[in-house]
Amino acid sequence: MSHQPQYANRPPQRFEILLVPEHVESRGDASVVDSAVRSAVVEATGETGVSGYPRYAGHGIEAEIDSAGRAVEALLVDGSELDIGLTAVVRDVPPRPGG
């Protein structure tokens, strides 16, 4: 039996990752967006990461994302781990027209 995630459908091709101070994380969507110190739209690379989840990359951020739970399983920001006190929040991004 495999412990790798199974997708009924193809995982999303794009997400927005917001890097927010931990104290803001649970205050609701608008507060999280307004409080982000950095955000980036990341796109699927077609690879699977060490965590077993799809890899996404863009604008200096590389992530492995559990698309079912919208959880970041691994994250690098400009090649380094996330700074203490920051957390990553995943938001859906509409697909590109025609894509």
Q: pLDDT tens per residue, the chain (99 residues)?
A: 445 555 456 788 999 999 999 887 556 666 788 899 999 999 999 999 999 999 999 999 999 999 899 999 999 999 999 999 999 999 998 777 776
pLDDT of residue 25: 57
Q: Where are the alpha helices (DSSP H) in the chain?
A: 29-35
Q: How many whole angstroms separate alpha carbon 97 and alpha carbon 37?
A: 28
Q: How far apart are CA 86 and CA 98, in angstroms?
A: 35
**Per-residue tokens: 31:** 């507060």
Taken in order 6, 9, 13, 15, is the CA torsion positive or negative?
Answer: negative
What one-letter code names the amino acid at 93?
V
Q: Is 75 exposed, middle or buried (0-12, 13-18, 19+ CB in 10 A)?
A: buried
**Residue 8: its pLDDT value, please?**
52
